[in-house]
Amino acid sequence: MFRPFAALLGAFATLGLAATAQAQPTADTVAAIRARGELVCGVTGVTAGFSLPDSQGVMRGLDADGCRQVAAAILGDGNKVRFVLTTSQNRFPALQSGEVDMLVRNTTWTLGREAALGLEFASINFYDGTGFMVKKSLGVTSARQLDGASVCVQPGSTTELNLTDYFRANKLRLNPLVIENLEELRAAFISGRCDVFTTDASSLAAFRFSQGANADQYLLLPEIISKEPLGAAVRKGDWRFFDIVRWAHFAGLTAEEMGITQANVMSFADNQNPDVQRFMGRSGDLGKMLGLSPDWAVNVIKSVGNFGEMWERSITPLGVQRGINNLWTKGGLQYAPPMR
């Protein structure tokens, strides 16, 4: 299930709330999740491939499955998630205030967000970068040709900063059209209110995919102008929850390395490989160390499969190559530390 978040919008300035959040005692998020019987997870809810309801109202996508990984680890059931829709501006107040337990919503890990907002990034589920999209009819093939262009961009995002920096560094004139609501921003681009749409390249690909038969009208320019490691954010200081969120992601990567899938996970129960035995909870005390059941990693894989399965289900249909998001054994950056 999911619902929009609006209670705190306009109530606090982001940095002011951050100071308050850091001054308060750290809550026991795991205990709260167990008491209510569900994880409350902040997502966009409007981005194909990451978090978007299907025709049955079920939230689908890489970020949505990231929430399910954590619910499965803590509660043994990846379906025990309540999805809360957040925007680029209200997502951090939602997390700081405890309105959501965690954020998995195309959010970039930066020094400023960790140091100033009282947050910690526990994992990276998508290595991304800021890109540009135009209509092919504009006749533009490079971002260097955007001098004087009007650009649709969301406020309160790293994209807004990257856009300003890029245009200044390349001595280009910029006419930004700033709109907070992502769907309104997309509509403005489609209607021609701006020449260019900029955000994470993955979100641009998702938008293009969502246009169906009209997708060929849009062109992703070749320039990627920033590093955008997207991942799960939690409140600073609640280290037990932080560890669980981090290692739930690593469990998906480890399973992919081992060839463990949603369909075959239980066939590994009697495998004598020591690494597999620890993963399955048949030896060692990994679950106990995290305050979880011995089969917590098995529950993660039963719920959503390994990371490769999550990617194939959600991102591959967008036409996005896995590239640097591949496992380290295949030339990518996704690398899980040893589970021992």
pLDDT in tens, 49-75: 999 999 999 999 999 999 999 999 999
248-301 confidence digits (pLDDT tens) = 999 999 999 999 999 999 999 999 999 999 999 999 999 999 999 999 999 999
Average pLDDT over residues 6-25: 42
Looking at residue 83, its pLDDT comes to 98
Q: Residue 179: beta bridge partners?
A: none
Is residue 45 within 8 A of residue 5, CB to CB? The reply is no
Looking at residue 88, its pLDDT comes to 86
pLDDT at 19 over 50: no
Q: Are residues 234 and 308 in the same domain?
A: yes
* CATH label of the domain that carries residue 183: 3.40.190.10
Higher pLDDT, 157 or 324: 324
Residue 43: which domain range? 29-128+230-330
Identity of residue 270: D
Average pLDDT over residues 103-130: 95
Looking at residue 255, its pLDDT comes to 98
Q: Are residues 252 and 218 in the same domain?
A: no
Structure-token match 């526990």, residue found: 122
- 36 within a domain of the structure (yes/no): yes
162-195 confidence digits (pLDDT tens) = 999 999 999 999 999 999 888 899 999 999 999 9
Q: Are residues 182 and 252 in the same domain?
A: no
Q: Are residues 69 and 195 in the same domain?
A: no
274-295 burial code (b ≥16 CB/10 A, e <16): ebbbbbbbbebebbeebebbbb
Predicted confidence band at 9 (pLDDT cuts at 50, 70, 90)?
very low
pLDDT at 1 over 90: no
Is residue 118 within 8 A of residue 22, CB to CB? The reply is yes
pLDDT at 2 over 80: no
Structure tokens at 114: 């960790």
Looking at residue 26, its pLDDT comes to 65
- 11 within a domain of the structure (yes/no): no
Instruction: Kindly state the percentage of the chain with pLDDT values over 70.
Output: 92
Kindly report which listed range (26-30, 148-152, 223-227, 280-284) carries the lowest average pLDDT score: 26-30
What is the Cα–Cα distance from 72 to 68, expressed in whole angstroms? 6
Kindly report which listed range (15-24, 113-122, 237-246, 317-326) carries the lowest average pLDDT score: 15-24
pLDDT at 319 over 90: no
- 142 within a domain of the structure (yes/no): yes
Domain limit, last residue, from 206, 227, 248: 227
Q: Are strands 102-108 and 39-43 parallel, antiparallel or unpaired?
A: parallel
What is the Cα–Cα distance from 155 to 92, expressed in whole angstroms? 13
Q: Are residues 118 and 234 in the same domain?
A: yes
What is the model's pTM?
A: 0.85
How many structural domains does the chain have?
2
Q: Are residues 94 and 143 in the same domain?
A: no
- 16 within a domain of the structure (yes/no): no
Q: Are residues 236 and 326 in the same domain?
A: yes
Domain limit, last residue, from 227, 254, 285: 227
- 293 within a domain of the structure (yes/no): yes
Q: Are residues 279 and 216 in the same domain?
A: no
Q: Are residues 85 and 198 in the same domain?
A: no
Q: Are residues 215 and 243 in the same domain?
A: no
Predicted confidence band at 323 (pLDDT cuts at 50, 70, 90)?
very high
What is the Cα–Cα distance from 323 to 311, expressed in whole angstroms? 12
- 3 within a domain of the structure (yes/no): no
- 71 within a domain of the structure (yes/no): yes
Looking at residue 55, its pLDDT comes to 95
Predicted confidence band at 199 (pLDDT cuts at 50, 70, 90)?
very high
pLDDT at 8 over 60: no
Q: Are residues 150 and 292 in the same domain?
A: no
Mean pLDDT value across the chain: 92
